[in-house]
Copies of this chain bind each other. A is one copy, B any other.
Amino acid sequence: MPKLWNETIEDHRRTVREAILDSTWTLVHEHGLASVTMSQVAARAGIGRATLYKYFPDIEAIVFACHEREITRHLAHLAELRDQPDDADARLRAVLAAFARISHQQRSRGAELSALLHRDERVSQAQQQLVDLIHGLLAEVAQAGHLRDDVPLAELANYCLHALTAAGSLPSTAAVDRLVTVTLAGVRPQE
């Protein structure tokens, strides 16, 4: 059955929107937030300036939309790792390592972009979803008896996330792996 006219329009809009986000994100990472203009974005996305303004009012709005898309993807990726058929220990390590790698990749963001994204309200919401995700995994690891029992799980989850943001100032992925090991050592049962 052929697509309905409405669905085709929807598809088209979604494709254009994705092209705008991709173009902007690339330009911002290549040239820095301050130097990117709506004209450059339109040119790179292969659409007219007038069309671009039908989608977004300014660069900042596009950057926030990029960020929203990125956060959604990251959370989906981490949830996927949590839901693997491995044991809880292996899944905890996989999730923490993936989060550390995300922090590590974001180190290349300029101060300007970081400051803007820091203001995004979506961040604290995503932070909470992350804490919940890790909290749940820690509960599973605790059931297996591989977690210290003198500290509330919520505090351990909070500790993990903050410790792993240290990946943002590390020079190599080997160092990031060591950071995950050190962080995990903090939550293990103590003699």
Q: Which positions in A face B, CB cutoff 8 Å?
A: 115, 118-119, 148, 150-152, 155-156, 158-159, 161-166, 169-170, 175, 178-179, 181-183, 185-188, 190
Contact = CB atoms under 8 A, between A and B. Distances in A.
Given A158-B166, A163-B163, A182 B187 contact: yes
A48 B118 CA distance: 38
11 contacts: A148-B182, A148-B185, A150-B178, A155-B170, A158-B166, A158-B170, A163-B163, A163-B183, A182-B187, A183-B186, A185-B185
B170 A183 contact: no
Contacts of A181: 150-151
Nearest to A151: B178
Nearest to A131: B169
Nearest to A187: B182
Contacts of A190: 185
A162 B166 CA distance: 6
A179 B150 CA distance: 11
Contacts of A178: 150-151, 155
Contacts of A161: 166
A165 B156 CA distance: 13
A179 B159 contact: yes
Contacts of A183: 159, 163, 186
| CB-CB nearest 6 A-B residue pairs | A162-B166, A186-B186, A163-B163, A182-B186, A185-B186, A151-B178
Given A186-B182, A187-B182, A159 B166 contact: yes
Residue in A152, A155, A188 with the greatest tally of chain B CB atoms within 10 Å: A155
Nearest to A178: B151
A182 B119 contact: no
Contact of A166 (B163, B175, B182, B188): B163
Given A119-B115, A185-B185, A186-B182, A175 B155 contact: yes
